[in-house]
Amino acid sequence: MMKGFEYFTTQKDELLAWARKFSIFPYPFVTACCGMEFMSVASTLYDTDRFGAALPRFSPRQSDLLMVVGTVSHKQAPIVKKIYDQMCSPKWVIAFGACAVSGGVYQNYATLKGLDKIIPVDVYIPGCPPRPETVIDAIIKLQSKIETGVSKNV
Amino acid sequence: MKRKEYWNQKEMSYWEKLYYLEIARGLWVTFSVFIKNLYKWCTGKKGALTVYYPEERRSDYASNFRGKHKLTILENGRPKCIACKMCENICPSKSIKIVAGKSPDEKDSYSLKIPLSFDLDYASCIFCGHCVEICPKDAIIMTNDVSELPTYAREKLLYSLSDLLESKKDA
Ligand code: SF4
Ligand code: SF4
């Protein structure tokens, strides 16, 4: 009896990681045209529901994946930071599209040169906009990161 | 007849006014599609539209689809690129950085300039295809492959000459 209990207590983290992996609640912070591609990934044709990541929560308190979809300007940056701070741990961040990854084509004074300048990012998705296949690749990568438990944000 | 409240106000029949029936009719459409798809799935046929991506890929990409870049090679395996830096100059997001050098062969008949390094930063590339259009030697092309692009670290998105060069067997 005691042995079995000990086994379960050692496996607790694995069990939690497995449960978290298939219940990602994304918060889409959509600022630009990449949002169309986000909708396309969530639609029937590609269907992120297969990975348990389809139900968007429009409140940072209820979500555990911040998807920053599109250009982040310097005016928008404090808002993203605030939303990130409002999310409950454990939380993960995806930079979606070239603009969120590095500023993309906007090499000017108004655009933040990459989301990782303000908050830690787990998975970077390049592309302008990224194809739904690329986004699914990123979700699979994030799932393996959640499962192995190595996340710099927890 | 009673005057309409607004110009396209619908006149509903008796059965439509009993709206529970209408709700049931609407749900039946949804449910019948579900049953049909479930039947197809049970008999091993593809029911829903969904592309089961990592296992199954779409084949209907446009012929001019712009995916990952490749640097083409000559028969002897050296890159076709002559390090003219046209692509570096046209690139709207300044993603390409080329370091040009002299060809080791003094009397090279193809080009005396070769790229010592060719870095393409996918973090900022917008896949516009201008580099492909401008290249005088067709040295840079775009494939319709977009796999394995996302990374855990931004530095990994910087592709070097060896990552971009096509291998001998695809040429
Ligand atoms: S596709 Fe466009 S953005 Fe990307 S490297 Fe070529 S010119 Fe630059
Ligand atoms: S335009 Fe073509 S040949 Fe010139 S540097 Fe770019 S890839 Fe090389």
Report residue A154's pLDDT band, with 50, 70 and 90 as the boundaries: very low
What is the reported pLDDT for B1?
A: 63
Whole-angstrom distance, CA of residue A6 vs CA of residue A15? 14
Whole-angstrom distance, CA of residue B156 vs CA of residue B136? 29
* Chain B interface includes A37 (CB < 8 A): no
> What radius of gyration do chain B's Cα atoms show?
28
What is the reported pLDDT for A150?
A: 59
Mean pLDDT on A97-123: 91
Report residue B170's pLDDT band, with 50, 70 and 90 as the boundaries: low
CA of B150, closest CA in chain A: separation in Å? Answer: 5
* Residue A47 scores a pLDDT above 60: yes
Say if residue B137 is exposed, middle or buried (CB neighbours under 10 Å; 0-12, 13-18, 19+): middle
Between CA B116 and CA B143, with CA B130 as vertex, the angle to 5 degrees is 75
* Residue A126 scores a pLDDT above 80: yes
Q: What is the mean pLDDT of chain A?
A: 87
Nearest to residue A41, comparing CAs of A84, A117, A94, A99?
A94
Half-sphere exposure (CA, 13 Å, Cβ side) for A117?
15
**What pairing do the DSSP bridges indicate for beta strands B96-102 and B113-121?**
antiparallel
pTM: 0.83
Nearest to residue A93, comparing CAs of A63, A73, A71?
A63
The percent of residues above 70 in pLDDT, for chain B, comes to 97
Mutate to test the interface with B, among A102, A122, A140, A145 (most CBs of B within 10 A): A102
Whole-angstrom distance, CA of residue A131 vs CA of residue B58? 12
What is the reported pLDDT for B2?
A: 73
What is the reported pLDDT for B168?
A: 65
Q: B171 in ligand 1 pocket by Cβ < 6 Å?
A: no
Q: B86 in ligand 2 pocket by Cβ < 6 Å?
A: yes
- Predicted ipTM? 0.84
Report residue B20's pLDDT band, with 50, 70 and 90 as the boundaries: confident
DSSP 8-state symbol, B4: P
H helix runs in chain A, sequence order: 2-10, 12-21, 34-42, 77-86, 98-102, 132-148
Residue ranges of domains in chain A, CATH in brackets: 25-147 (3.40.50.12280)
Whole-angstrom distance, CA of residue A39 vs CA of residue B118? 35
**pLDDT tens sequence across B46-55:** 777 788 888 8
Whole-angstrom distance, CA of residue B97 vs CA of residue B107? 26
What is the reported pLDDT for B78?
A: 86
Between CA B134 and CA B141, with CA B136 as vertex, the angle to 5 degrees is 65
Interface of B with A in 114-153 (CB under 8 A): 121-128, 146-153
What is the reported pLDDT for A153?
A: 42
**pLDDT tens sequence across B53-63:** 888 888 888 88
- Whole-number Å distance, alpha carbon A138 to ligand 2 midpoint, is 31
Nearest to residue A27, comparing CAs of A63, A52, A54?
A63
What is the reported pLDDT for A13?
A: 79
Mean pLDDT on B81-103: 93
Does the bond joining A56 to the residue before it have cis omega, within 30 degrees of 0? no
Q: Containing H/E element for A56?
A: none
* Residue B114 scores a pLDDT above 80: yes
